[in-house]
Amino acid sequence: MKSSHIQLSKGHMKPFSSIVDGDCMTFLLDVNSKNISLENIKFVDTTKGFYDDNIEDEMNKQYESKFFSLRDRLINVIEKKTKTEIKFGKKEQNIILDYLNLAALRSKATIDLINQKSIAAFFLGDFSNNDLMNAKLAGALSERIFSDYSALIVKNDTEINFVLPANSYYYSKKIHEEFIETEFNLFIPISPKLSYMLLLKSDFDAYIKKRGFTYLVMNNWRDIEYLNERAYRSEVYFNKKFIVSKSRQELEKLLLVQIV
């Protein structure tokens, strides 16, 4: 059996790492112990056989590889400023929503909630993450949890990096005055300088109609620090695992956040 990344995949962590002696190493803040360490992403949050090998392969084939391919193209176009054009239409939106739903199902909070509320779990015993993902891949869980959302690309044009929570995504208070329909925006960091921001479709459509593109530049370092703090608070309150970052300084700042 393969070693499985329980929640946050190696592919998602890769842009938040640096090559050290041939290995992809990331700074990791354990939100429980408050310890910061340098870790090989190959071994972060893994256990042998957590998912069956065929489920690992299908998760990668159906969802992860498409999400990471899109991510890498965005990095090349936006961060590295190549001349390659990139489409960001319905197909790309579906790739993001599919991955987001996968991330939601990989959450410990999700499986705990299902086992607390499910009648089937009451009679048959608790479901495992493997059972849940098997049902997803078999088509038994076909509805998208975030079907009312669409994604903008956010470029972080500051010296501060985005951090990535083990939960993959987090909510923040509304950060842009043009987004009027929702109280919260949902963020999925995909690199230290790029993130998806998911909006209700009404806000998204209004933004595209006015601006003409699916792209938002953030150049205020305070906004980035605020988002990193939201990622940290979300992880502490709801997921209780860890935050990763390409640089140590962002994590050290998070240790100063007062949690009550």
pLDDT of residue 83: 56
DSSP letter for each residue of 128-164: PHHHHHHHHHTTSS-S-TTTTEEEEEEEE-SSSPP-E
Of 212, 208, 222, give the one whose Cα is nearest residue 172.
222
Question: What distance separates the 2 farthest-apart alpha carbons in the chain?
Answer: 57
Of 45, 58, 54, 41, give the one whose Cα is nearest residue 4.
45
Output the average pLDDT for the chain.
88
Alpha helices (runs of H) in the chain, residue ranges in sequence order: 10-13, 53-59, 65-74, 90-105, 108-117, 119-124, 129-137, 201-211, 221-234, 248-254
pLDDT of residue 123: 40
CA atoms within 13 A on the CB side of 250: 30
pLDDT of residue 119: 46
Report residue 225 as tokens: 């620090």
Report residue 224 as tokens: 């980035």
Residues 6+ apart with CB under 8 A from 103: 7, 167, 168, 169, 188
pLDDT of residue 175: 78
Separation of alpha carbons 23 and 39, rounded Å: 10
Please report, in tens digits, the pLDDT of each residue of the chain (260 residues total).
788 999 999 999 999 999 999 999 999 999 999 999 999 999 999 999 888 999 999 999 999 999 999 999 999 988 877 655 677 899 999 999 999 999 988 876 666 666 565 544 444 446 677 777 887 887 776 667 788 999 999 999 999 999 999 999 999 987 777 787 777 889 999 999 999 999 999 889 998 988 888 889 999 999 999 999 999 999 999 999 999 999 999 999 999 999 87
pLDDT of residue 108: 67
